[in-house]
Amino acid sequence: MAKKRVIGGMAAIFLKESQVLQAATAARASGFIKFDAISPYPIHGMEEACGIERSSIPYVTFGAGALGLLLSLGLVYYTSVLNWPINVGGKPMFSLPAFIPIMFELTVLFAALCSVGALFYHAKMPKIDPPTIDKDLTSHKFAIFIPENDTGYNEDRITRMMNELGAAEVKKVAEY
């Protein structure tokens, strides 16, 4: 799990979805790379605007699913064929159709649990009680947060830029 560390920075609060999308595009265009957009709901096109790459979670899901499939095949093979063979209805000990439900379930279980795990890892969760930028960010406001360790961080410049983009408020805050 990633280390939790409070980072200061500038937050610009916006009242409109279109403005925050523009602001994210502008922030990226002016060279910021570590900034984040905060919104009460997913915004179409925000990933591209912020330059967020596709996450590696789907690959984790596929790998974990494949692993689950093989492990479950090993499990049923060991228990039903090698260690404790029981004749059921005269069928061969190694009867794949009977094993498939177990293989399917374990594939899904591995894939799902590992995806959730990978999501928590990527999102640096759990974040307990982070500093609050603005309470209304969970209902009707939007924000762009630029951390102070970002390239080209300059408070005056950010304030000017964000005000030009129509920010309702630009303030100095702290975030994880």
Partner 1 sequence: MASNHSNEFKISKFEAPQNLKAIMFACLFVGLVTFILGFIKNPERMWTSYLVSFFFFGCLAVGAMFFIAFNFAVKAGWSSSIRRFAEAMTNYMPVFLISAFVLILGFKKLYVWNDPASLAALSGGKSLYLAPWFVSVRMILFIVGCWVFGKLIVGNSIKQDITGEHALTNKNIKYSIGFIAFFAIFFTMFSFDLMMSLLPTWYSTIFGIYCFAGAIQATIAVLAIIVVMMKKSKWISGYVNDEHQHDVAKFLKGFTVFWAYIAFSQFMLIWYANIPEETEYYIMRSLNGWMGVSFALLIFRFIVPFLVLLPRGAKRNDSILVAVSILVLVMQYVDIYWMVYPNFFDGIPQFGFWEIGIFLGFLGLFIMTMIQFMTKNNLVAINDPRIHEAVNHHVTY
Residues near partner 1, by CB under 8 A: 21, 42, 44-45, 47-48, 54-55, 58, 62, 89, 97-98, 100-101
Kind and range of the H or E element at 171?
strand 169-175
The angle subtended at Cα 152 by Cα 14 and Cα 50, nearest 5°, is 45
Using a CB cutoff of 8 Å and minimum separation of 24, what contacts does 46-53 make? Answer: 46/21, 49/21, 49/24, 49/25, 50/24
Rounded to the nearest whole angstrom, what is the least distance from the CB of residue 89 to partner 1 in the complex? 6
Closest C-alpha among 109, 130, 108, 139 to residue 175: 130
- The smaller minimum CB distance to partner 1, of residues 59 and 152, is found at 59
CA distance 136 to 17: 14
The one-character DSSP state at 40 is: S
- The smaller minimum CB distance to partner 1, of residues 10 and 165, is found at 165
Amino acid in the structure at residue 81: V
- The smaller minimum CB distance to partner 1, of residues 42 and 126, is found at 42
Strand, helix or coil for residue 8: strand
Rounded to the nearest whole angstrom, what is the least distance from the CB of residue 108 to partner 1 in the complex? 11
- The smaller minimum CB distance to partner 1, of residues 55 and 149, is found at 55
Rounded to the nearest whole angstrom, what is the least distance from the CB of residue 128 to partner 1 in the complex? 27
Rounded to the nearest whole angstrom, what is the least distance from the CB of residue 46 to partner 1 in the complex? 8
CA distance 15 to 40: 12
CB-CB contact of 93 with 84 (8 Å): no
- The smaller minimum CB distance to partner 1, of residues 49 and 143, is found at 49
Strand, helix or coil for residue 55: coil
